[in-house]
């Protein structure tokens, strides 16, 4: 699978970052710190997808799914994260996460 460009942040995030540049800088540092370690980028993105699902954040789940695709995660890997989350967050929340993620997969990847 070829790597795809990770889409840019939403307009509201960019506006917030311009208004509060120190918070934006701190956010960037948190991302860099969490990304430094033995896990590869795809694994980090799949973990972040699981965290976004568990937090039941639709926006974060959409973003995490797009970034998983961009790092080369397969549809099967992405959906396994949803399946793993189901026993923790429950079926209704897992089904919701499934629909959020399904909306972010390329058309040829939707099932």
Q: Which residues contact 34 (CB under 8 A, 6 or more apart)?
A: 44
Q: What's the average pLDDT block by block, 10 residues per block, for the chain (111 residues)?
A: 58 92 92 86 95 94 93 95 94 94 76 51
Q: What pLDDT is attached to residue 7?
A: 63
DSSP 48-65: HHHHHHHTT-HHHHHHHH
Q: What is the pLDDT of residue 3?
A: 45
Thinking of the domain 40-109, which architecture would CATH place it in?
Up-down Bundle (1.20)
Give pLDDT, residue 6: 57
């Amino acid at each position: 699978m070829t790597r795809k460009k990770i889409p840019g942040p939403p307009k509201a995030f960019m506006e917030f970052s311009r208004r509060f540049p120190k918070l934006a800088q701190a956010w960037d540092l948190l991302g860099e710190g969490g990304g430094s370690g033995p896990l590869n980028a795809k694994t980090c993105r799949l973990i972040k997808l699981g965290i976004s699902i568990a937090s039941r954040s639709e926006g974060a789940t959409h973003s995490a799914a797009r970034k998983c695709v961009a790092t080369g995660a397969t549809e099967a890997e992405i959906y396994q994260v949803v399946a793993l989350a189901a026993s923790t967050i429950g079926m209704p929340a897992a089904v919701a996460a499934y629909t959020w993620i399904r909306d972010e997969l390329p058309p040829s990847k939707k099932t």
